[in-house]
Amino acid sequence: MVPRNTPLKPAWIEDPPAAGSYRALFKWGDPARVKHPDQRLVRLLQGQLGLSEAEWRRPAAGAMDAIASIPPSRLAAAHVQALTAIVEAPNASTASMERLRFGVGQSAEEIWQLRAGELPPAADLVLHPRHREDVIRIVAYCHRENIPIYPCGGGSSVTRGLSPVRGGVSLVLRTHMHRVLRFSETNQTITVEPGLDGPHYEALLNDAPRRLHARRAYTGGHFPQSFEFSTVGGWVAAMGAGQESTYYGDMADLVVALEMVSPSGVLRTREVPASATGPCLKALATGSEGAYGVLVAVTLKIFRHQPANRRRFSFIFGDWDRAVTAVREISQGEFGRPSVLRLSDPEETDTALTLYGVSGTPLERLIRLRGLRPGRRCLLLGRTDGEKGLARHVHRCIRRVCRRQGGVYLGGYPVRRWEHGRFSDPYMREDLNDFGIFIDTLETSVSWEHLAPVYQGVRGYIKSRPRTLCLTHASHFYPQGTNLYFIFIGRMGSLEAFRGFHGGIVERIRTCGGTLSHHHGVGRLLAPWMPAYLGPAGMGVLRALKQHFDPRNIMNPGGTLGLD
Amino acid sequence: MVPRNTPLKPAWIEDPPAAGSYRALFKWGDPARVKHPDQRLVRLLQGQLGLSEAEWRRPAAGAMDAIASIPPSRLAAAHVQALTAIVEAPNASTASMERLRFGVGQSAEEIWQLRAGELPPAADLVLHPRHREDVIRIVAYCHRENIPIYPCGGGSSVTRGLSPVRGGVSLVLRTHMHRVLRFSETNQTITVEPGLDGPHYEALLNDAPRRLHARRAYTGGHFPQSFEFSTVGGWVAAMGAGQESTYYGDMADLVVALEMVSPSGVLRTREVPASATGPCLKALATGSEGAYGVLVAVTLKIFRHQPANRRRFSFIFGDWDRAVTAVREISQGEFGRPSVLRLSDPEETDTALTLYGVSGTPLERLIRLRGLRPGRRCLLLGRTDGEKGLARHVHRCIRRVCRRQGGVYLGGYPVRRWEHGRFSDPYMREDLNDFGIFIDTLETSVSWEHLAPVYQGVRGYIKSRPRTLCLTHASHFYPQGTNLYFIFIGRMGSLEAFRGFHGGIVERIRTCGGTLSHHHGVGRLLAPWMPAYLGPAGMGVLRALKQHFDPRNIMNPGGTLGLD
């Protein structure tokens, strides 16, 4: 047992990464911001992973190293000149760091490669298009000249989706293309350029009366963990789902229309609520991950912003099975849906109770009194939204369902604690990595029938690795099933060993009956499993569309979606 | 003014159509069933269309004529033999009437052609596959031998979607392929073969405790007007929407997974609630109208069957604008959604008040007292479903919204009247046609912004034709818009004149900003407008998929979706 009273101050790195360092490429979010694991988490990790106090005082070597040299751009000067002429000089760059920067995402593999001093693929040219017309001209030029294009939104891809593995152009959409193109309060839609990021998008809608001359305030209803550093275009291209998707829907549900520039032309779909005019065209572009074209406009559903109606709840259940019974009933009960619903498995629950400060409080005494034991008990937290009476009704029904399964009501406090860290937790990753601890996630979608085999199979595989934490939750609910989100934490041997372990998890997800991804997308990370997952007929369709949109394979080439 | 007290008995045809007659091909539904327009409707039509009493006593010539001669099958004997061998003898036919029967749908054009003694295209061979394996072998054989295949579900297409314009095979799925393949109460899904019809599908689910060993009763939630004579496969292939879609969703929302046999192979998608593994494959098959392949299995969402929770309501508003404001608020209010919601325009309202027996009752006095005038007032009717408290809450909120727009509550009676005729009204079409009155419908989907221009533009066009009724309603609601359903009734000049008039309506829908179809599909009827509607990029995608799935163009060839 680790002594609880001795304060331990790990040698956290607090300086912003130096310009030109590896850290500048992989650090999450705001370069100047850090969020250290608190004392409780440090002690918990120390105990479970077996770190000595001394190890917490020695950050891993190389964490702040400068990049020695970056190979020069290989793009012919004439191409650089022609493409630069399209966007105008300040919006094109062949500077070394720039060419790396927009091609690095946030996958564990990329981060560990950078920490090991391995250079990631570099683009030859970075372009910051100013508007749709720039994109059309760039795509046409690159198609003619056979130059790869790698679209980049917020840069938060965890699937190596941005990686310019064949050089060419990194096309950065967030620099200029973040305008509102159309707002219709009547239709409850907004059309924006793809480079608009989460906080600006949401703030604009929340402030609609002032900034959009609307009668009401609105919300986009889309809050992925990457919210602060992801863009609307990225949400659509990678088919994301936010933490409130149970009420608002996944990105696939939220897209009303879109415009995509591909080498074969510009596909623009209509802003209509529904239609029966052949297969749904917007569905082909949603989830195409830049492999078919570049999104230049996206029309999304918006919702009334009514935070005053919100109700929070949390429950703790005796075991996973009863908790799953409760969330299934919540999903299928037809009494309306909660916005947030998040069920933690026993290991995540015990961690959360520690981190959310429940341990040692009257809440913990209550939990003990009810005989809900560590290692078995499961925490459910959530929120209801919408019109006031609906939010109240859904809240009331959820309480009824949970009580029927023996759930003990813990009130709204744990939800507020979770809300507090919901977007900033990724900052802690650098701190853990600095001490040789990896933390990574994989997620999958499961029908209710597959929930148990996937949960047990994948968790069993992860826990078969010694001294490895596996925190699991389900956080996106549908009448037909849910997702499972596995967070695994351990000490790093080699990158090769990590890859093997990671691949083993993906394979276990697949063979147990989960989808390859619920909301992270495929990118290059999961591409090797796509043929086995979709089968030849499914892959054949994706390839036929690729051939149609991008016959010369210039759009995000080199593995995306398993296409080449 | 037509005297109201003289009973008028038109010379209705009551005999079932003779075998081998034109009427046997076009008559709606059960051959033995008729449903005559009641006295009120007859009088209303007489007045508005200017029929004399004498005309009601003389049915149009040729209504019961026998078909003189049908050209023989042109398919080589070897092919007939090989295909017959696949399904086994009783399941293949080259009999003349059979070859016509499964290629005739329910479009006004087909019906008037048949009434005029024009023969529709005939298949060369009718096959009734027994199961998936038969379909796979038939498609493979026809692909190799270049023989067209025309899939037929319930035969209720109103878009000439079944028409074997190039001969070949009519593939009838309803004869044998109506089995349940899998039922999962846990997932709330059912997987069925495509030929299962509406009543059997719904009865099975309603009776799930007995017939599927379920704990509860379920509903499919899909009730198109063609419910009694349409199939699950047809719903998916033509992307239907039912009369309760506002709550349960359109067919595109209800499909969880499917299996489609195409010349290029068998595409089977997974039963998962969501995924981010590239563009959604099931979306490509949904709405493909048999042009990409034959559906052999469809997995649909099911819902709890809780008719005891149902609440009915109806309101009458002073004018269309206030009624539209009310239904938009109902759609966007986020208090939950009604299942049925149906707003009639003034012309349909006045007709409905007559037909539903409100005229002359205390309800009518109430309406008059409130100053709601004929020619302006609009009827809204609907129903709430789901869990008891939700159904009650939605009902309460709807009443509040409607009152705010001056709506006068009329109770549940008009809804029950509407429910009574919801599936049987199509039977009246033959009666009207027999007296030279055409009745046809076109429907479109509109964003809220486009509702007014499409309503006014299309109605204006229809009403510019003398003595033509135009009854319009919106009956499928979304936060982003609704549909408009135009019923037009008049006296028939020539088929050519009808075609011109009909085409003019479609063109007006398109230019005013409506979709070509909301839930009837495209078929061959609307195909000529598809290139202008989708544009070259959109058509290019549909064609690329066609080329992939069906490179020799054997699947429902000859115009479907505007593909050839």
ipTM for the whole complex: 0.96
Under a CB-based contact definition with an 8 Å cutoff, are residues B486 and B458 in contact? yes
What pLDDT shows up at residue A59? 79
B481:A272 CB<8 A: yes
B447:A397 CB<8 A: no
Q: Which of residues 345-374 of A touch B (CB under 8 A)?
A: none
What six digits make up the tokens of B20? 């081998």
Mutation to test the A interface, candidates B294, B387, B541, most A Cβ within 10 Å? B541
A390:B387 CB<8 A: no
What pLDDT shows up at residue A60? 75
What pLDDT shows up at residue A340? 98
Task: Kindly tell me if the per-residue pLDDT of B3 is higher than 70.
Answer: no
Task: Kindly tell me if the per-residue pLDDT of A421 is higher than 90.
Answer: no
Question: pLDDT category, B5, cuts 50, 70, 90?
Answer: low
Q: In this predicted model, which residue has the larger pLDDT, A361 or B262?
A: B262
- Could you tell me where the beta strands, DSSP code E, fall in A200-353? 218-219, 255-262, 265-268, 294-301, 303-304, 311-317, 340-344
What pLDDT shows up at residue B281? 97
Under a CB-based contact definition with an 8 Å cutoff, are residues B414 and B356 in contact? yes
What pLDDT shows up at residue A2? 45
Under a CB-based contact definition with an 8 Å cutoff, are residues A189 and A301 in contact? yes
- Give the separation between CA A520 and CA B536, rounded to whole angstroms: 32
Percentage of residues of chain A with pLDDT beyond 70: 98
User: Would the CA dihedral through B183, B188, B194, B197 be positive or negative?
Assistant: positive
Question: Residue range A513-528: average pLDDT?
Answer: 97
Q: In this predicted model, which residue has the larger pLDDT, A295 or A2?
A: A295
Task: Kindly tell me if the per-residue pLDDT of B192 is higher than 70.
Answer: yes
Give A194: exposed, middle or buried? Use CB within 10 Å, 0-12, 13-18, 19+.
buried
- Give the separation between CA B465 and CA B471, rounded to whole angstroms: 14
**Cα R_g (chain A), whole angstroms:** 24
Q: Which of residues 160-199 of A touch B (CB under 8 A)?
A: 184, 186-189
What six digits make up the tokens of A160? 């190596």
Under a CB-based contact definition with an 8 Å cutoff, are residues A501 and A494 in contact? no
- Measured N-to-C along each axis, helices A495-512 and A108-115 cross at an angle, to the nearest 10 degrees, of 170
Question: Residue range A411-434: average pLDDT?
Answer: 91
CA distance A195 to chain B (A): 20
Question: Residue range B323-340: average pLDDT?
Answer: 98
Question: pLDDT category, B174, cuts 50, 70, 90?
Answer: very high
Chain B residue closest to A482 (CA)?
Answer: B273
What pLDDT shows up at residue B2? 46
SS3 label, residue A41: helix
CA distance B523 to chain A (A): 9
What pLDDT shows up at residue A38? 87
- With residue B149 as reference, give the H or E element that holds it: strand B149-152
Domains in chain B with CATH codes: 77-174 (3.30.43.10), 180-304 (3.30.465.10), 307-422 (3.30.70.3450)
Under a CB-based contact definition with an 8 Å cutoff, are residues A320 and A349 in contact? no
Q: Which of residues 538-557 of A touch B (CB under 8 A)?
A: 538, 540-542, 544-545, 547-548
Chain A residue closest to B247 (CA)?
Answer: A334
Give B51-69 pLDDT, tens digit per residue: 888 888 887 767 688 998 8
What pLDDT shows up at residue A4? 52
Contact residues, chain B, for A544 at CB < 8 Å = 544-545, 547-548
A272:B387 CB<8 A: no
Give chain A's mean pLDDT.
95
Q: Determine which of A55-59, B143-147, B305-309, B375-379 has the lowest per-residue pLDDT on average.
A: A55-59
Task: Kindly tell me if the per-residue pLDDT of B396 is higher than 50.
Answer: yes
From the list B279, B283, B447, which residue is nearest A273 (CB)? B447
- With residue A42 as reference, give the H or E element that holds it: helix A39-49
Q: What is the pTM of this model?
A: 0.97
From the list B273, B275, B516, which residue is nearest A277 (CB)? B516
What pLDDT shows up at residue B9? 86
CA distance B233 to chain A (A): 15
B301:A540 CB<8 A: no
CA distance B77 to chain A (A): 33
What pLDDT shows up at residue B492? 83
Contact residues, chain A, for B239 at CB < 8 Å = 275-276
CB pairs under 8 A between A and B: 286
A241:B276 CB<8 A: yes
Task: Kindly tell me if the per-residue pLDDT of A21 is higher than 90.
Answer: yes
- Give the separation between CA B411 and CA B391, rounded to whole angstroms: 16
For residue B93, the tally of other CB atoms under 10 A from its CB is 22
Under a CB-based contact definition with an 8 Å cutoff, are residues B263 and B292 in contact? no
Under a CB-based contact definition with an 8 Å cutoff, are residues A169 and A124 in contact? yes
Q: Which of residues 431-460 of A touch B (CB under 8 A)?
A: 445-449
From the list A303, A389, A522, which residue is nearest B277 (CB)? A522
Give chain B's mean pLDDT.
95
From the list A389, A519, A540, which residue is nearest B393 (CB)? A389
From the list A284, A386, A534, which residue is nearest B277 (CB)? A534
Of A532, A480, A541, A481, the closest CA to residue A506 belongs to: A532
Q: Which of residues 263-302 of A touch B (CB under 8 A)?
A: 264-281, 283-289, 301
Contact residues, chain A, for B544 at CB < 8 Å = 544-545, 547-548
B186:A449 CB<8 A: yes
DSSP assignment of A242-255: -TTHHHH--HHHHE
- Give the separation between CA B520 and CA B527, rounded to whole angstroms: 12
A516:B277 CB<8 A: yes
Q: Which of residues 373-392 of B touch A (CB under 8 A)?
A: 386-387, 389-390
Sheet holding B149-152, edge to edge: B92-93, B125-127, B169-172, B149-152
- Give the separation between CA B534 and CA B433, rounded to whole angstroms: 34
What pLDDT shows up at residue B457? 98
Strands B481-491 and B469-474: antiparallel
- Give the separation between CA B35 and CA B430, rounded to whole angstroms: 9
| Amino acid occupying residue B549 | F
Question: Residue range B457-470: average pLDDT?
Answer: 97
Of B514, B312, B147, the closest CA to residue A270 belongs to: B514
Interchain contact B474–A (C-beta under 8 A): no
Q: How many residues does the structure list for chain A?
A: 564
CA distance B441 to chain A (A): 15
SS3 label, residue B478: strand
A534:B278 CB<8 A: yes
In the block, tokens 């199509």 appear at B426
CA distance A191 to chain B (A): 13
Task: Kindly tell me if the per-residue pLDDT of B135 is higher than 50.
Answer: yes
Question: pLDDT category, A5, cuts 50, 70, 90?
Answer: low
Chain A residue closest to B538 (CA)?
Answer: A267
From the list A187, A390, A561, which residue is nearest B335 (CB)? A390
DSSP assignment of B247-300: HH--HHHHEEEEEEEETTEEEE----S---SSS-SHHHHTT-TTSS-EEEEEEE
Sheet holding A189-192, edge to edge: A180-184, A189-192, A294-301, A255-262, A265-268
- Give the separation between CA A121 and CA A71, rounded to whole angstroms: 10
Q: In this predicted model, which residue has the larger pLDDT, B19 or A3?
A: B19
CA distance B513 to chain A (A): 9
Question: Residue range B308-314: average pLDDT?
Answer: 98
A275:B518 CB<8 A: yes
CA distance B264 to chain A (A): 8
Alpha carbons within 13 angstroms on the beta-carbon side of residue A356 total 24
What pLDDT shows up at residue A365? 82
What pLDDT shows up at residue B1? 43
What pLDDT shows up at residue A94? 97
Give B347-380 pLDDT, tens digit per residue: 999 998 887 767 777 878 888 888 888 999 999 9
Give B261-289 pLDDT, tens digit per residue: 999 999 999 999 999 999 999 999 999 99
Task: Kindly tell me if the per-residue pLDDT of B4 is higher than 80.
Answer: no
B283:A278 CB<8 A: no
From the list A274, A516, A540, which residue is nearest B264 (CB)? A540
- Give the separation between CA A73 and CA A79, rounded to whole angstroms: 11
Strand partners, B191: B182, B299
Task: Kindly tell me if the per-residue pLDDT of A164 is higher than 70.
Answer: yes
Under a CB-based contact definition with an 8 Å cutoff, are residues A247 and A475 in contact? no
Give B247-266 pLDDT, tens digit per residue: 999 999 999 999 999 999 99
From the list A397, A516, A544, which residue is nearest B389 (CB)? A397
Task: Kindly tell me if the per-residue pLDDT of A431 is higher than 50.
Answer: yes
Give A478-505 pLDDT, tens digit per residue: 999 999 999 999 998 899 999 999 999 9
Helix residue spans in B280-381 (DSSP H)? 282-285, 320-332, 346-355, 362-369
